[in-house]
Chains A and B, each alone.
Chain A
Amino acid sequence: MEAVMSILTNPYYIQVVTMVGISLIAALGLHLITGITGQFSFGHAAFVSIGAYASALVTIHLHLPFVLSMLAGGLAAALCGVLLGFPSLRLTGDYLGITTLGFGEIVRVVFINLKITGGAGGLAGIPRESNIFLVYIVVVLTIWGMYRIQNSRFGRALVAIREDEIAAETMGINPLLYKIKAFAIGTFVAGVSGSLFAHMMQYLNPSDFGFARSFEILNFVVLGGLGSIPGTILGTAILSLAPEFLRFVKEYRMLIYGALMVTMMIFRPNGLLGGVDVIRVLRGYRNRREARR
């Protein structure tokens, strides 16, 4: 019992679990963009960073309550998302991917050069406002919101665009408009995740939000099972915790991580939960159990 308590109160573990939550929020945003709407975004970390910096600056300079600066972070990211989305969401597939990747790198370089964000040295002195409870409240809210979106007229339109854009258009859906809306929500969520990150770490550095981080978030979404919320949760949990569990292999850690990515894709190309409708499976289980009674 005491051992369990000591693990539960160990600040390092709490930090790790909180970071999983923060990553999950960002991943859920990308889940909406890539998993549901089918639009490639290889620059998601940039929106996390925009949210992080914006909210941190709002907190530092305007002393607003954290909830408001969190909102500000989300809105700043969504604004940039829409500004990028308007011209670029006409592009398809890999062209959109590379454009978002480029945008991500540009944002990083801009943050390195801006004075107000502390440049390459980073931005320090952000008050610690977020904690594990707040993070997981936002996690639950985001999951709830994503489920609601998926089962709505709006969400169906997004899925229709993913499945067949031309057919969707002849069903009366304006693809560009809906893609931009999906992008706005997805980047808003990324921005919120960033503000939680900023007020957790109390320090921001542009190098934390490079394209490597963008691809890490993409990994969370794809490895768990593209288009599936349980998949995104599972993918994020496994991949964020993997480096922790792989600590014992020391310098071979990233070697194994890379090899793991390849093998996981080869054996489950649609992700761990890809093609598994968890709700259907659960419902089927309940039905079978009731049938047995």
Chain B
Amino acid sequence: MSALLELKDITIRFGGLVAVDGISLEVKEGNVVALIGPNGAGKSTVFNVVTGIYTPTSGKVLFRGEDITKLKPYAITDRGIARTFQNIRLFKNLSVLENVKIGCHCRGRAGIFGALCRYSGVRGEEKAFVDKSLEAMGVVDLTGKKEELAKNLSYGEQRRLEIARALASEPVLLLLDEPAAGMNPQEKQTLMQMVQRISGMGITVFLVEHDMKFVMSLSDRVNVLDYGRKIASGTPSEVQRDTTVIAAYLGKEVV
């Protein structure tokens, strides 16, 4: 299997602060890959670099062999990378269905003229959007809530809605930024099944998560960051045995 996403020596500085320091990593097609590390290790920054919200100070991001380092976020989504956010960013005043339909945006074509004339192609596209949205909502069990406003959903449901919205853009690679944060054990269990379902659909999953049980049971590979550097990577069991990782998490004295 070839690498779907490849980060090559990514460094990003904010003023004097080096948030990410020379990170290289690979995400192979079809895998579930995790990025873990203590708070402030630079995990979300890596996600922001991949999705084009930040441009790295140096280094390259390759997606399916194409250099996407300097592309804008919308162009990156268009190429098949979708994401969720650590601090939920839904369109709060819109219904669940509308949120997911916006996710379909980059797979549609209708413009202003289409909006005004609503010729048959546009109507067909709208219908396809609704079908696809309902399908995406089905993956995360939100079909029953389609008319609910996003802001009225529970926290766990909002996290799932973010996933549905991302799925609606028909991604090849799905980035989940702390998907289980703030969920109770039962919700985490369901979420785990959902991620497996998504992976089973042939979508590569790249996730940041703090919950080790969640990460270790889901992932094919785990990358560990500490202070902006990659300190380890491998299968979950390899990483769990790695002394530098244990030191980073528990402090040096323990080792």
Write the residues of chain A forming the contact surface with B, with a CB cutoff of 8 angstroms. Answer: 145, 148-149, 151-157, 159-160, 163-164, 166-175, 181, 185
Contacts and interface: CB of A to CB of B under 8 A. Distances in A.
13 contacts: A148-B116, A152-B126, A153-B105, A154-B114, A156-B98, A156-B102, A157-B105, A159-B98, A160-B102, A168-B91, A171-B74, A171-B165, A172-B78
Nearest to B115: A152
Contacts of B103: 171
B91 A160 contact: yes
A277 to B, nearest CB: 10
B89 interface: yes
Interface string B101-123: 11111101011101110100010
Contacts of A154: 110-112, 114-115
B110 A172 contact: no
Nearest to A275: B93
A279 to B, nearest CB: 13
Contacts, number: 97
Contact of B73 (A152, A155, A169): A169
B222 interface: no
Given A164-B91, A166-B89, A171-B165, A149 B116 contact: yes
B108 A153 contact: yes
Interface string B65-94: 000000011100110001101000111111
A155 B126 CA distance: 12
A153 B110 CA distance: 6
A2 B169 CA distance: 63
A167 B115 contact: no
Contact of A169 (B74, B92, B126): B74
B83, B92, B105: which has the most chain A beta carbons within 10 Å? B105
B53 interface: yes
Contacts of B91: 159-160, 163-164, 167-168
A145 B102 contact: no
Contacts of A173: 74, 102, 105-106
B131 interface: no
A145, A152, A185: which has the most chain B beta carbons within 10 Å? A152
Interface in B116-146: 116, 118, 122, 125-126, 129
Q: Is the interface of A mostly helix, strand, loop or mixed?
A: helix
Contacts of B111: 153-154
B145 to A, nearest CB: 16
Interface in B23-80: 51, 53, 72-74, 77-78
B112 A185 contact: yes
A185 B104 CA distance: 23
B49 to A, nearest CB: 13
Contact of A167 (B89, B98, B114, B116): B89
B77 A172 contact: yes
B77 A148 contact: no
A7 to B, nearest CB: 37
Contact of B101 (A145, A156, A174): A156
B126 to A, nearest CB: 7
Contacts of A175: 74
Given A167-B89, A172-B74, A185-B112, 12 more contacts: A149-B112, A152-B114, A152-B126, A153-B104, A153-B108, A154-B112, A156-B105, A164-B89, A170-B77, A170-B83, A171-B102, A171-B105
A169 B106 CA distance: 10
A179 to B, nearest CB: 13
Contacts of A148: 115-116, 118
A167 B93 contact: no
Contacts of B94: 159, 163
A189 to B, nearest CB: 12
B128 to A, nearest CB: 11
B102 A168 contact: yes
